[in-house]
Amino acid sequence: MNSNVSILKASGSREAFDVEKLRASLLRSGASGEAVESVVNHVLPELKDGMSTHDIYEHAYKFLSEWKKPIAERYSLRRAVMNLGPTGFLFEDLVAEILKEKGYSVLTDQTVLGACVPHEVDVVAWNDKKLIMVEAKFHNELGTKSDLKVALYVKARIDDLKQNIFNYGGKDRKLDEGWLITNTKFSSTALHYGLCNNMIMIGWNYPEKGNLQDMIEESPRLMEIIFKQEQAKNK
């Protein structure tokens, strides 16, 4: 069905439309089997060769909104996060709030001295047991990935920072963890490099559990903040 229809991805490349990808995306948003098939049956007649993935999303989102709004919001969450900034609630603010909810004290936009040079760190988080420094890599286009050069420079910064002593929470301590977190995906080479070097890398749907989507959906408060900003921008 629709095997001859090619769609335009956010990256600019084309691929054959795969209805199972649409079904999987809807199921991840919490839609029931009945709702999924209703959306699919609505979208399929609208398909045209060369249609963009954004156009398909818009058709599915509009239909879901009429079906059940909470599910539609979950389906649109990734795009809502992509619309954060450049003013208001920024991506690093979102990461900071996620860590606050996990019990950490946090600071954003810090200049931190490594063993050799100072580094601009998006988020510093600490509790009694752990000190974390985070590189928050934000992209505002779905097709953009954090690639190998990003992983390389973040690893170099972490290595330099791990050689110094810091005072957070009233005590001297070394850096326990350096995170690279992004709102999109990582390239395959970036993931391979990260795994090889035991890096903590968090993307929209990576790792399978504990990814950025999971972290946001665990917090009704963060969901509310994100969608309030989305609504404000659309007015």
Please give the full DSSP string across 175-198, using - where no structure is assigned.
Answer: --EEEEEESSEE-HHHHHHHHHTT
Question: Are the C-beta atoms of residues 60 and 43 closer than 8 Å to each other?
Answer: yes
- pLDDT tens across the length of the chain (235 residues): 455 788 887 667 888 888 888 888 787 777 778 878 888 888 888 888 888 887 887 788 787 777 677 777 777 888 888 888 665 578 999 999 999 999 999 999 999 999 999 999 999 999 999 999 999 999 987 778 999 999 999 999 999 999 999 999 999 999 999 999 999 999 999 999 999 999 999 999 899 999 999 999 899 899 888 878 766 665 5
Q: Do 213 and 223 touch, CB atoms closer than 8 A?
A: no
pLDDT at 201 (0 to 100): 98
Cβ contact 217:77 at 8 Å: yes
204, 184 contact by CB (below 8 A): yes
Q: What is the CATH number of domain 91-234?
A: 3.40.1350.10
pLDDT of residue 118: 98
- Residue ranges in the chain assigned as alpha helix (H): 19-28, 33-43, 53-67, 69-82, 91-101, 148-161, 188-196, 212-217, 220-234
The pLDDT value recorded for residue 1 is 47
Q: What is the pLDDT of residue 10?
A: 66
